Amino acid sequence: MLHLDDEDTLDRTFAALAHPARRAILARLARGEIASVTALAEPFDISLVAVSRHVKVLENAGLVSRKKEGRSRRCRYEPAGVARAKDWLETHQQYWSAQLEALSRYLKDGE
């Protein structure tokens, strides 16, 4: 189950998650809502242009997809992106857990 995940993709994924507005947008879409850019922008004090670019960052990270529908865009959650980030974290968390006992022993001896 060792998938050679593209480092750049992981970079873009974590970087996309590192901004509160983008996390808020993603959280909203993750609830199942399929929203336009204008609708997504509504809670924010920043310009629509800025929100549009936040959505683009999420899209480039594979966390969100955008489909043109008339003159608006239907933005939707893409579960694969979040799964990718979670997988990376879990891999290393699990590895750590497996080694926890050995580490614990080491710390006792070393300190």
Partner DNA sequence: TGAATACTAAACATAATGGTTAAGTATCGA
Partner DNA sequence: TCGATACTTAACCATTATGTTTAGTATTCA
Q: List residues binding DNA (CB under 7 A).
A: 15, 18-19, 21, 36-39, 45-50, 52-57, 66, 68, 70-73
Work out how close the CB of 41 gets to its own copies at its nearest, in angstroms, rounded to a whole number. 18
Provide the minimum distance between the beta carbon of 38 and its own copies in the complex, in angstroms, as a whole number. 18
- Alpha helices (H) in 1-111, listed in sequence order: 7-17, 20-30, 37-41, 48-60, 79-110
- Could you say whether residue 100 binds its own copies (CB under 8 A)? yes
Residues numbered 46 to 85 that lie near its own copies (CB under 8 A) are 77, 79, 82-83, 85
Closest listed residue to residue 47, CA positions, set 68, 55, 13? 55
Residue 100's contacts (CB-CB under 8 Å, 6 or more residues apart) are none
Q: Is 11 in the site for its own copies (CB under 8 A)?
A: yes
